[in-house]
Chain A
């Protein structure tokens, strides 16, 4: 009889699954959020995911959505795993999503070819394929406010500035430690090319994912190479480990610069005072002083509608990164509604909104985030905004901004175009047919 019950169980399971599809038909703009609050990258994924959800919930609670249309926010857990990410995409694509935020370069790479077919835009905020900045080849992919290549070139510029001029980079040694994945490998072509041009010595240290927590051998190599500067492209548990190891070999933390994904409070905090001086790139402000963040506290966190357990975590760097992502989502939808009317917009319409996004300083002030980030203006041709970045420094307990906005180098754009053209020929991407404007 045990077996019979088993059979009934299986049958009911299958029928349940079958009928569950296509039930969702609530009124509102459907925004799926891919999160990874589990797995090895959860340390970075939890604050970003919470920031994203909280801002959108705040819009629902305070304004009743965007343009009077409520937002239906649904999280799909990817665990930063590509296979689960694809499954999430398949799950949400039939529900008329306004856009997809994959939150993983690996998942982005899978989805980029699918988006034009399914007519769903992809927002990879400061991650993903750098070449996607070229809107002519990738009409459905947006990576504003900046690409990894922009950022890498800005970091080199910053280093040049610290050394007293770009010409002083000649003969300097710059090491690049990265998470061995599509994400970590992204900036290497640019850094290599710049090394030939500016004359610095360049070496890379890949950290395989499974060695994330055990980097002593990698940093031994760093000690042997004696670099003048180290640049890090890390994520998840790799970040705090690398920072700790760097302090252990007594590397000059002032000369250790992380990507904007290596600048979380939780990345630097474990190393404590020793990490003082560590720098990382960033493109948005932190802290709770912004009116919009006060609204999040008021409408969401204090009402218990947030997944944030500790009120003090609101306003931290990665939380704000999530908020920023949702600001971009919301403003893109608003732009789309500006053309198509205040109603539920579909992927195609949101795409138009993303391509015509113009986030001015005045607009930022209006939404309660004055000075939060540099203005963003997207065009048909440029999907990345070529945004400038700034450098922040860890003072032992929190991040402090230590530089002004650093623009990327002009030479990045031609390289992006070259990479996009190569992608286009390799993958037989058809010519863009979507009209501009």
Chain B
């Protein structure tokens, strides 16, 4: 009943090629976007914005980037943290070198630096595959952790070794720095994430996306039908790293406010990999669902005992946190290996035939 596309006739090619061909999808997406742009900034408090929604959006963006590379193009990568660090540090350098330039523009530009780095680290992907490639990208992770920790130029010779986000304004509203309100930062992050997500949706359904999927599913066959593995894989690396870089820049500029290189350690790469595995490989919505899962569940578990009025001490809760999250990940992989995105697809099918399932 819901989700019936019967009666939605496509009479032009343009309407047939729409981003979301089914009317319900279109309205659903518009509703979500409208809700997050208008309603959430009005009703959410600082804790929700700053501790939950902003990191959720930023991790979604990073997961989106990795999903392009791993989910669509089939190249396993463990270097996401490194690429995020490149984005964050280049953004920091840009912002301090060009203090007058619009910071939002610089955040978007800093992605290009990490795209360039991604290209370089993507070159081995031509020769090596699978786990071996993961090890090669791991090199990016460790290299950048080392580089940004040791070379003082990258953090402007600060005694603390950390990069601190200066106040930058956009039409007289502080966008970054401590005086920027959570609402402003949320809206900035949301704009960038929405914009990049729409671009990603477009890329993956177009020629480039199809080439990626062909390479992923069988690279020899793809080569035989005329897809160049070199350019296709490198484009995947570049675009994926771009997303990771922008996510890294946002992570520092819109979320943390100042950072040491340790925040981009190997754990963040693993976290993002878990996100796309749980969310669903090769799906844009999967990146968001997976990020929601990994970001929200620990916060929920931490807050749950207090909400229920059970006085459990903080450390015990944290131990539970590890156990429950781990168990959930394992259960998910057993019962729904295709991730949350697959659950959504199944649900959609059910809704379509409801109330007369066959």
Decide yes or no whether B194 CB sits under 8 A from chain A: no
Q: Could you tell me the distance between the alpha carbons of A242 and B315 in the complex, rounded to whole angstroms?
A: 27
- What residue of chain A has the Cβ atom nearest to residue B99's Cβ? A428
Q: Which of A37, A49, A94, A182 contacts B161 (CB 8 A)?
A: A182
Decide yes or no whether B162 CB sits under 8 A from chain A: yes
Pair B319/A38 contact, Cβ less than 8 Å: yes
A82 and B260 in contact, given A17-B300, A129-B160 (Cβ under 8 angstroms): yes
Contacts of B178 in A (CB 8 A): 113-114, 116-117
Report the count of interface residues on B (CB-CB < 8 A): 55
* Interface window among A85-93, A248-256, A269-277, A385-393: A85-93
Pair A181/B260 contact, Cβ less than 8 Å: yes
Nearest Cβ distance between residue B286 and chain A, in whole angstroms? Answer: 16
Nearest Cβ distance between residue B300 and chain A, in whole angstroms? Answer: 6
A residues 1-18 near B (Cβ < 8 Å) are 3, 6-7, 13, 16-18
Nearest Cβ distance between residue A122 and chain B, in whole angstroms? Answer: 13
* Interface window among B208-216, B223-231, B234-242, B250-258: B250-258
Contacts of A181 in B (CB 8 A): 161, 260, 262
- Give 1 or 0 for each of A205-218: 1 = CB within 8 Å of chain B CB: 01011100000000
Decide yes or no whether A121 CB sits under 8 A from chain B: no
Pair A79/B50 contact, Cβ less than 8 Å: no
Contacts of B265 in A (CB 8 A): 209-210
Contacts of A17 in B (CB 8 A): 52, 299-300, 303, 307
Q: Could you tell me the distance between the alpha carbons of A79 and B319 in the complex, rounded to whole angstroms?
A: 10
Pair B343/A83 contact, Cβ less than 8 Å: no
Pair B302/A77 contact, Cβ less than 8 Å: yes
- What residue of chain B has the Cβ atom nearest to residue A87's Cβ? B51
Contacts of B319 in A (CB 8 A): 38
Decide yes or no whether A317 CB sits under 8 A from chain B: no
A residues 157-182 near B (Cβ < 8 Å) are 180-182
- Give 1 or 0 for each of A57-95: 1 = CB within 8 Å of chain B CB: 000000000000000000111010011001100110110
Pair A91/B315 contact, Cβ less than 8 Å: no
Most chain A beta carbons < 10 A, residue from B45, B178, B259: B178
A428 and B167 in contact, given A82-B262, A109-B160 (Cβ under 8 angstroms): yes
Q: Could you tell me the distance between the alpha carbons of A345 and B288 in the complex, rounded to whole angstroms?
A: 42
Pair B299/A106 contact, Cβ less than 8 Å: no
A113 and B262 in contact, given A76-B314, A90-B47, A186-B159 (Cβ under 8 angstroms): no
**What are 29 A-B contacts defined by CB distance under 8 Å?**
A3-B347, A17-B52, A77-B315, A82-B256, A82-B259, A83-B256, A83-B263, A86-B255, A86-B256, A90-B46, A91-B51, A106-B263, A109-B162, A110-B258, A113-B177, A114-B257, A181-B260, A185-B160, A186-B159, A209-B262, A209-B265, A307-B313, A307-B315, A423-B159, A426-B96, A426-B164, A426-B166, A427-B164, A428-B166
A interface residues, Cβ below 8 angstroms from B: 3, 6-7, 13, 16-18, 20-22, 35, 37-38, 42, 46, 49, 75-77, 79, 82-83, 86-87, 90-91, 93-94, 105-106, 109-110, 112-114, 116-117, 129-131, 180-182, 185-186, 189, 206, 208-210, 307, 419, 422-423, 426-428
B interface residues, Cβ below 8 angstroms from A: 45-48, 50-52, 55, 96, 145-146, 149-150, 156, 158-162, 164-167, 177-179, 255-260, 262-263, 265-266, 296, 299-300, 302-304, 306-307, 313-315, 317-319, 322, 343, 346-347, 350
